[in-house]
Chain A
Amino acid sequence: MPTLTIDGKQVTVEAGTTVIKAAHGAGIDVPFYCWHPGLSIAGNCRMCLVEIEKMPKLQIACNTVCSDNMVVHTQSDKVKKARQGVQEFLFANHPLDCPVCDQAGECKLQDYYMQYDLKPSRMVDRKTRRVKALPIGPYVVYDAERCIACSRCVRFCDEISGSKELGIFERGDNYYVGLAAGTELNNPYSINVADICPVGALTNRDFRFKMRAWYLTDHESVCTGCSRGCSTKLSENGNTIYRTLPRDNEQVNQYWMCDDGRFVFKRELGPNRLLAPSTRKGADVRETGWDDALDALYAALRRTVNEHGADAIAAVGSNQGSNEEIHLFSRLFRDAIGTRMVAGKSDIGSEGYQVVEDEILIKADKNPNTTGLRVFGNLDTDASALVKAIEGGKVKVLVVWGRGFDRVLGDRAPALLEKVELVVHIGAHEPAHRADLVLPTTVWAEKEGTFTNFAGVVQHFGRAVRARGDVRDEVDVFAELLRRFGAAAPAGAEAAFQEAAQKIPGLAGLDFRGLGETGVKIESVPVLAS
Chain B
Amino acid sequence: MADAPRILLDFLDDDRSWTLESYRKRGGYKALEKALKMEPVQIMEEVKASGLRGRGGAGFPTGMKWSFLAKNDRPKYLVCNADEGEPGTFKDRLLLERDPHKLIEGMIISAFSLGSKKSYVYLRHEFELGFQRMEQAVNEAEAAGLLGDNILGTGFSHHLVNHRGAGAYICGEETGLIESLEGKKGQPRNKPPFPAIQGVFNDPTVVNNVESLAVVPWLINNGGAAYKAVGTEKSPGTKLFSVSGHVKKPGVYEVPLGYPLMDLIDKECGGMLDGMSLKCCIPGGSSVPVLTAEECARANLDYESMNALGTFLGSGGVIVIGEGTCVVDMLANLSRFYAHESCGQCTPCRDGTNWIHKVVDRIEKGGGRRQDLADLLDLSDNIMGKTICALGDAAAMPVIAFIQKYRHEFEEHIEKGRCPYKPEYAVAHAAAGR
- Chain B 152-179 near chain A by CB (<8 Å), digits 1 or 0: 0000000000000000101000000000
Q: Report if A46 contacts B (CB, 8 A).
A: yes
Contact with A along B361-405 (1 / 0, CB 8 A): 010000001010001000101110111100000000000000000
Query: Which residues of chain B come closer than 8 Å to A175, judged between CB atoms?
Result: 344, 350
Q: Mark A89-111, 1 if CB is under 8 A from B, else 0.
A: 11011000000000000000000
| Cβ contact of B388, chosen from A44, A122, A124, cutoff 8 A | A44
Q: Is A58 within 8 A of B385, CB to CB? A: yes
A264 part of interface (Cβ distance < 8 Å): no
Interface residues on B, range: 20 to 34
- Let me know if A89 and B340 touch, CB within 8 A: no
Is B341 touching A122 in the complex (CB atoms < 8 A)? no
How distant is the Cα of A125 from the Cα of B340 in the complex, in angstroms?
A: 17
B359 touches A45 (CB 8 A): no
Q: How many angstroms from the CA of A126 to the CA of B353 in the assembled complex?
A: 14
B369 nearest in chain A by CB position: A124
* A84-142 interface with B by 8 A CB criterion: 84-86, 88-90, 92-93, 122-126, 128
- One of A2-10, A164-172, A202-210 at the interface: A164-172
A60 to B388, CA, bound (A): 9
Contact B190 A41 (CB under 8 A): yes
| B382 in complex: contacting residue of A47, A85, A93, CB < 8 Å | A85
Distance between B401 CB and nearest chain A CB, rounded to angstroms:
20
**A interface majority secondary structure:** loop
A60 to B382, CA, bound (A): 15
Q: Which of B352, B359, B375, B386 contacts A82 (CB 8 A)?
A: B386
Determine whether the beta carbon of A81 is less than 8 Å from that of B347: no
Whether A148 is near chain B, meaning CB under 8 Å from some CB there, is yes
Least CB distance from A358 to B in Å reads 27
Interface pair A172/B342, CB less than 8 Å apart: yes
Verify if B348 is at the interface (C-beta below 8 Å from A): yes
Q: How far is the CB of A95 from chain B (nearest CB, A)?
A: 14
Q: Check A49 against B386 for contact (C-beta < 8 Å).
A: yes
Q: Is there an interface contact between B348 and A174, defined as CB atoms closer than 8 Å?
A: no
Interface string of A49-69 (1 = CB under 8 A from B): 100000011101001000000
Do residues A171 and B344 form an inter-chain contact, with CB atoms below 8 A? yes
Query: Which of A81, A86, A148 gathers most chain B CB within 10 Å?
Result: A86
Determine if B358 is an interface residue (Cβ-Cβ < 8 Å). yes
Chain A residues contacting B385 (CB-CB under 8 Å) are: 56-58
B190 touches A45 (CB 8 A): no
> A149 at the A/B interface (Cβ < 8 Å)?
yes
Q: Tell whether A159 is near chain B: CB-to-CB under 8 Å.
A: no
Query: How long is the Cα–Cα vector from A170 to B350 in the complex, in angstroms?
Result: 12
Which among B168, B345, B362, B387 is the interface contact of A125 at CB below 8 angstroms? B362
**Complex: how many Å from CA A123 to CA B357?**
12
Cβ–Cβ < 8 Å partners of A29 in chain B: none
**Given A81-B382, A172-B339, A174-B344: A43 touches B351 (CB 8 Å cut-off):** no
B358 cross-chain contacts in A, Cβ below 8 A: 125-126
B346 at the interface (CB under 8 A from A): yes
Q: Are A46 and B344 interface neighbours, CB within 8 A? A: no
Given the interface pairs A60-B190, A85-B382, the reply to whether A46 lies near B355 with Cβ below 8 Å is: no
Taking Cβ atoms with an 8 Å cutoff, the residues of B that contact A are 168, 170, 185, 190, 339-348, 350-355, 358-359, 362, 369, 371, 375, 379, 381-383, 385-388
Instruction: Identify 26 residue pairs between A and B in the complex whose beta-carbon atoms are under 8 Å apart, listed by A's number.
Output: A41-B190, A44-B388, A46-B346, A46-B386, A46-B387, A57-B385, A57-B386, A63-B190, A81-B382, A82-B382, A85-B382, A85-B383, A89-B350, A89-B352, A92-B352, A93-B351, A125-B358, A148-B347, A149-B344, A149-B350, A168-B185, A171-B168, A171-B340, A171-B341, A172-B343, A173-B342
Return the 10 tightest CB-CB contacts between A and B, nearest first.
A85-B382, A89-B351, A125-B358, A43-B190, A175-B344, A172-B342, A57-B385, A173-B354, A44-B346, A92-B351
